[in-house]
Amino acid sequence: MQYTLVFDWMFELRNPELSLTEVITYSTIYSFSRDGRGTFVGSYKYLSRLTRLSERQQIRVLNRLINDGLIIKEETPFGYPNEYKVNLNVIPQGIKCELNDKGYDKMSHPM
């Protein structure tokens, strides 16, 4: 089973607000990179299954998020998947990832 946490502030990262598919894509990448260390290396197919879009449509959504400065794409050598992470500088102040002593986010892994 796949899931991703969507926070209300994610819709307001851009004006006009992000669409639901943009928020699902953003929140998925956010879940991997919110601590500033991790990156998302999943496939377009993985994201397409979450958003119920074709891979071509999913690539367009991802490119919009990159062009808007919300997602950062790190290109890798041919044959390796690209890496994606959220641009932490655009996240509203007061939102942060706090890790417990085991390295888990306190919100998504309650003690």
Name every residue whose Cβ is closer than 8 Å to that of residue 103 and which is 6 or more positions away in sequence. none
Q: Which residues are CB-neighbours of 99 under 8 A, at least 6 positions away?
A: 35, 105, 106
Which candidate, 34, 59, 37, 60, places its Cα nearest to that of 46? 59
pTM of the model: 0.81
Instruction: Provide the token pair at 88.
Output: 């932490």
Q: Compute φ and ψ for 14, nearest 5 degrees.
A: -140, 155
- Phi/psi zone of residue 58: left (φ > 0), alpha (ψ -120 to 50 degrees), beta? alpha
pLDDT in single tens digits along all 111 residues of the chain = 467 888 888 998 888 889 999 999 999 999 999 888 899 998 899 999 999 999 999 999 999 999 999 999 998 888 788 899 999 998 887 776 655 555 555 444 333
For tokens 């502030």, what's the residue? 9
